[in-house]
Amino acid sequence: MSKSNWKKGFRRMPDYIRGKVAKISGDQVMVACIRRMTATMIHSGMYKHLGMSLQGDRPAFPERIMPDPTLGPSSLRNAQGQEIIRKDLPMVTKSFSAEVPNWGDWYNGSHEISWDREVYQREFIAPRELDISIELLKTEAGDEPVFAFRFRVEQVLDKRDGDFEADLLANLNLLQENTGAADVFPADADSTAYLKTISVCWEILPPGERTDMLARILANFRNPSKELKGKLLDRYAVLEKLKPVAYISGTSGFQRYFGAQFADNLVAFENLEYGNAIYVMFDEWEELSKRSRIDLLKNRDGARFERVVHREGWKTALKTIIEPRRPAA
């Protein structure tokens, strides 16, 4: 990846952005920018992290792409969220558990042990999982053509929303980190059409042979990497032990989801490409899955879903959620 020398982000809202927001008559805005670049600039790899390259003398690029989380802090938070240790709050008692061998030898089987420990409280800021769209608006002829691209963070922001300023700053930093520029514009009519694509199209797959099942799920992924295949195999094995009645495979725009169904109102699924957690949904899961992760985690909907982060002990935590809720045999 080419190293850029542009400014990576903003500590606070730039005054010129505040001024532009104030002048926008409507309530809905989007973060976007225009970048002019030559074929040489594209060929150098300056925008390789956004999937941009040259095919002959013409630029090739995806219509939308989720920023690479390794690019910088804004891209990382966008893909994986952020956990803050609240040392300013009182410590709380937390229970931990682990699977251990009987009499020190796994050959003799295993059992679960648990213990309590005082820990700092943690605040989780949900991953935004936003895409950046790319559109070629104009080609300027010359000795070396110049291409004018529009880059846009695909989230409509409403000035009446209580989180508007925080969301706006986060989107500005995401675009600035990835393109070296960021601005704000009125949301155009196409934004509504984009919002409709957030809904997930689910395919229900009855249990079958492992090899065939994995092949059917992977067919929904574009050029799956070795790492993604390994992750799928691991997650499949975990869900298989819980004996689902069906597996589910879903698509939403350029994102791909995989999971399992244990009852009509009990499913577990995750985004294998970018997610770092598995979501267990209960009542009306198909309706819940149509909402963006940002909206879902801002409005927890009581006990309608649980989010299990893939950290030590997550497999036990998942089993603890699934087992009491599945129908009796």
C-alpha to C-alpha distance for 179 and 96, rounded to whole angstroms = 43
pLDDT value of position 154:
93
- Does residue 85 carry a pLDDT above 70? yes
Rounded Cα gap, residues 167 and 160, in angstroms: 12
Give the pLDDT mean for 244-259.
72
pLDDT attached to residue 251: 63
Predicted confidence band of residue 302 (pLDDT cuts 50, 70, 90): low
Question: pLDDT value at position 189?
Answer: 36
Instruction: Report strand pairing: 146-153 vs 28-38.
Output: antiparallel
Report the pLDDT value the prediction gives residue 296, as an integer from 0 to 100. Answer: 64
| Range with the poorest average pLDDT among 10-19, 36-45, 181-190, 293-302 | 293-302
Rounded to two decimals, the pTM is: 0.56
Burial of 25 (0-12, 13-18, 19+ CB in 10 A): exposed
Amino acid at 52: M
State the average pLDDT over residues 278-307: 69
Rounded to whole angstroms, the Cα distance separating 266 from 54 reads 46
The larger pLDDT score, comparing residue 303 to residue 268, is at 268
pLDDT at residue 5, as a whole number:
57
Percent of the chain whose pLDDT exceeds 90: 22
What is residue 292's three-state secondary structure?
A: coil
> 186, 22 in Cβ contact below 8 A?
no
Residues β-bridged to residue 135: 150
92: β partners: 119
Long-range contacts of 150-154 (CB under 8 A, 24+ apart): 150/32, 150/33, 150/34, 151/32, 151/33, 151/34, 151/35, 151/50, 151/175, 151/178, 151/179, 151/181, 152/30, 152/31, 152/32, 152/33, 153/30, 153/31, 153/32, 154/30, 154/64, 154/130, 154/194
Query: How much is the average pLDDT of 301-314?
Result: 80
The two tokens of residue 145 are 């053509």
What string of DSSP letters covers 121-152?
Answer: EEEEEPP----EEEEEEEEE-SSS-EEEEEEE
| Tokens describing residue 306 | 């649980």
pLDDT recorded at residue 84: 79
- Paired strand residues for 246: 261
pLDDT beyond 70 at 201: no
pLDDT at 196: 43
- Mean pLDDT, the chain, as a whole number? 81
What does the pLDDT average to over 300-310? 74
Task: pLDDT band for 73, please (50, 70, 90 cuts).
Answer: very high
Q: Is the pLDDT of residue 63 over 50?
A: yes
Confidence of residue 56 (pLDDT cuts 50, 70, 90): confident
How does residue 298 score in pLDDT terms, banded at 50, 70 and 90? low
Band of the pLDDT at 193, cuts 50, 70, 90?
very low
Query: What is the per-residue pLDDT for 200?
Result: 62
pLDDT at position 83 over 70: yes
- Cα 169 to its chain centre, rounded Å, is 18
pLDDT for 254 beyond 60: no
For 305-328, what is the mean pLDDT?
A: 87
The 10s digit of each residue's pLDDT in 118-129 is 888 877 777 888
Highest mean pLDDT among 80-84, 212-216, 291-295, 308-312: 308-312
Q: Tell me: pLDDT of 195 over 50.
A: no
